[in-house]
Amino acid sequence: MSIAVELPALGESVLEGTVARWLVKEGDRVEQDQPLVEVTTDKVDAEIPAPAAGVIEAIVAAEGDVVPVGGVLARIAPDGERPAASPRDAGAASAQPAPRAPAAPAPAVRPAAEAGPAAAPRPVAPARPVAPAPAARPAAPPEPPRATPVARRAAEAAGVELAALEGTGVGGRITKADVERSAVPAAEAARGAAPAPRAAAPPARASEPSQARAATPRAPAARAGAPHSAAAERFGHYAVQEGDRVVPMSPLRKLVAEHMVYSKQTAPHVGTVAEVDLGGVVRLRDERKRAFQEQHGVPLTFLPFVVHATVRALREHPALNASVLEDAIVEKRDVHVGIAVETEKGLVVPVVRHADRLSLAGLAAAIEDLSARARTKRLSADELTGGTFTVTNPGREGNLYGFAIINQPQVGILRMGEVVKRPVVRTVDGEDAIVIRPLMYLALSYDHRAVDGAPANAFLHRVKQLLEEADFDV
Amino acid sequence: MADGLHIEWLGRVPYDEALARQAQAVEARRAGACGDRLLLLEHPPVVTLGRSAREANLRTPRAQLAARGVAVREVARGGDVTWHGPGQLVGYLIVDLAARELRDAHAFLRTVEAALAAALAGLGVEADGREGMTGVFVAGSRPPRKLASIGLGLRGWITWHGFALNVTTAPDAFDDIVPCGLHGVVMTSVARELGGAPPALFDEARAAVARAFAERLA
């Protein structure tokens, strides 16, 4: 039985690591304690040693992959269970009573995950076929296709069956290029052969029921966020074309995708927009930003103003600081505001806890600290959970307004637009006049299961009012 | 088994040589040929780039650095770019965390931070760690003024690499780089925080650091 090389718990606050560099290849023989792979975490760089001597059967996590603590990095076929000890060779060795080769088939089995739940215990197969299997052994179960991790993922992404491919890599391994070459015809074949897009396995292997599962053990997880089977069949999936770049989803991307689909399916979203005159806030910010930076060590942006106004409004409108729980609506005592942060790895939403207890400076510092650490991946799990409402500021130019997807299990999310100067009509000394004001569109998405239009608009209007009054203690 | 911490002063050692000695020390520790060690030393000027280092964080072109006798090394560690050189006390920690029943890299990092803070307190500089940033900073400083960088590696459960404490480093020592790729962090030194360097400051710092680690990793 192969031994899994797992990412050890390197520290109580270390939750995951990124595979930086493999020091060995599949098929390499390793000694116990030999460094196999370098993994970087937010705290330390660690070389993970081999738990036992043997042959690297499979590298499971590719360079650049983020692996959770306990996640499998590689599998080792340990010494003593390699081909020499397998019943296949034991039969050939006939009367020689080899100490580790019992006459009856060895009870060693492949891990269930590889063999498929229905498969009977199978004899251990050599990790690498040293020579072609003799023709007289038609009953021997076929090897799972050997492929590089990158190729496996490309195949999953493109819906290509690995078993159908001819490997051109080292030792006949299937490479990403092999997958890409086959992707176009395979996808076309799948469309023609609907409704079974995965039926493209070659006839020679079609009799092996566990083969398909063994070849794509991670297929369901890899399909996160993608339209699912039946619907995908009806409405069609994209056939990868030559020249396309197939980018596997990172774990974070998959999580975001799943969350978005879940939220849209769960909560009927309604959007509403307020036009906010930020004249007062702009003046305050211009007056104070220099001193603020000096005093608090963080820049004074619009975001803390908006968050400050939001938490005050949430206090007055608890219906927006809520969750839907089965057939009840839970209004929460505490106000913890999630701040959406775009990082190199994707979207994360750290949470400012008890945001209603913080001053404007406190909010600014907390937001700055959380976003800086989000970008350097130094957030703890606690800091990413427990939000009761979310504010997002995509903040790129040309962003007039848009409706964000609610961060479940919350019931509202506020999305900031770009601050732009516009001519507006104001009444000055009883006369209407056109004046130039810095405006921002503030868009609220809310869950209509929990909140109706009138209270949602009242809440949004209150945020607008607070921002326009600009009564902030900076 | 961990029996104490053996502390050695190696003097000024080129970066490559120190790296090789560390690797040997890790192997020896693994083989049980020696106990836990703290190697204290100083490097000739060198800029090291970690694996995630971006060339943009190197402010001076490589050729110009070479002309000034500053070596540039790409190192198989995480993190961005940093500088080592005269006036900086470098400590490499070869510690078997498993033998100490301390299988927690984060906890060990905190021990290193605490030891450095204690040593600095003895020298008259109040310092502490910062939530979310590895290293040791002048207590309460905004923007953060960094006194020591920490970068630990693990081989199995044996640590290597360690810390670099700026004791009497020249004020312009870090001008060639954006330290650790962190804009907004100011590198400082013990001498600068004290408003000047007493004659034997480096030796005092070395003794204080040795004492602090001996106490915590005895």
Quick: pLDDT tens for A221-245. 334 444 456 777 777 778 888 888 8
Instruction: Give the ipTM of the model, two decimals please.
Output: 0.76
* pLDDT surpasses 90 at A120: no
Helical (H) or strand (E) element with B9: strand B5-12
Task: Tell me the whole-structure pTM to 2 decimals.
Answer: 0.46
Q: How far apart are CA A364 and CA A304, in angstroms?
A: 5
Nearest to B105 among A14, A48, A372 (CB): A14
pLDDT tens digits, residue range A367-390? 999 998 888 777 776 788 889 999
Q: Quick check: is A126 in a domain?
A: no
Query: What residues of A are labeled active site?
Result: 448, 452
Check CB contact of A45 with chain B, cutoff 8 Å.
yes
Q: Quick check: is A101 in a domain?
A: no
Question: Do A353 and A240 lie in a common domain?
Answer: no
Q: Do A11 and B104 touch (CB under 8 A)?
A: yes
* pLDDT surpasses 60 at A196: no
Check CB contact of A47 with chain B, cutoff 8 Å.
yes
3-state secondary structure of A371: helix
Going from the C-alpha of A431 to that of each of A194, A421, B35, B105, B110, the distances in angstroms are: 70, 21, 86, 69, 66
Give the per-residue pLDDT at A168. Answer: 61
Task: Tell me which chain B residue has its CA closest to the CA of residue A298.
Answer: B143
Question: Do A360 and A441 lie in a common domain?
Answer: yes
Question: Do A310 and A393 lie in a common domain?
Answer: yes
Question: Do A198 and A295 lie in a common domain?
Answer: no
Bond before A144 cis per omega within 30 degrees: no
Q: Quick check: is A219 in a domain?
A: yes
Check CB contact of B156 with chain A, cutoff 8 Å.
yes
- Average pLDDT value for residue range B68-85: 83
What CATH number is attached to the domain comprising A449? 3.30.559.10
DSSP letter for each residue of A202-262: -GGGTT-TTHHHHH-TTHHHHTTTSPPHHHHHHH--PPPPTT----PPPHHHHHHHHHHHH
Q: Quick check: is A52 in a domain?
A: yes
What CATH number is attached to the domain comprising B137? 3.30.930.10
Question: Do A427 and A285 lie in a common domain?
Answer: yes
Question: Do A244 and A261 lie in a common domain?
Answer: no
Question: Do A381 and A264 lie in a common domain?
Answer: yes
Domain count within chain A: 2
Question: Do A327 and A355 lie in a common domain?
Answer: yes
* Min Cα–Cα distance to chain A from B200, Å: 33
Domain that holds residue A174: 3-92+107-116+144-203+213-251
* Min Cα–Cα distance to chain A from B192, Å: 20
Which comes out higher in pLDDT, residue A15 or B145? B145
Q: How far apart are CA A310 and CA A462, in angstroms?
A: 8
Nearest to B142 among A9, A44, A296 (CB): A296
> Using a CB-CB distance cutoff of 8 angstroms, which residues of chain B are in contact with residue A63?
none
Check CB contact of A353 with chain B, cutoff 8 Å.
no
Query: What residues of B are labeled active site?
Result: 180
Question: Do A157 and A245 lie in a common domain?
Answer: yes
Q: Quick check: is A127 in a domain?
A: no
Helical (H) or strand (E) element with A158: helix A149-158
> Using a CB-CB distance cutoff of 8 angstroms, which residues of chain A are in contact with residue B143?
297
Give the per-residue pLDDT at A169. Answer: 58
Domain that holds residue B138: 5-216
What CATH number is attached to the domain comprising A87? 2.40.50.100
pLDDT tens digits, residue range A15-73? 888 898 899 999 999 988 888 998 887 667 888 989 889 999 999 999 888 898 889 99
Question: Do A54 and A197 lie in a common domain?
Answer: yes
Check CB contact of B48 with chain A, cutoff 8 Å.
no
Q: Rg for chain A (alpha carbons), in Å?
A: 29
Report B:130-149 residues touching A (Cβ under 8 A): 131-134, 142-144
> Using a CB-CB distance cutoff of 8 angstroms, which residues of chain A are in contact with residue B109?
11, 43-44
Question: Do A389 and A335 lie in a common domain?
Answer: yes
Question: Do A224 and A324 lie in a common domain?
Answer: no
Domain count within chain B: 1
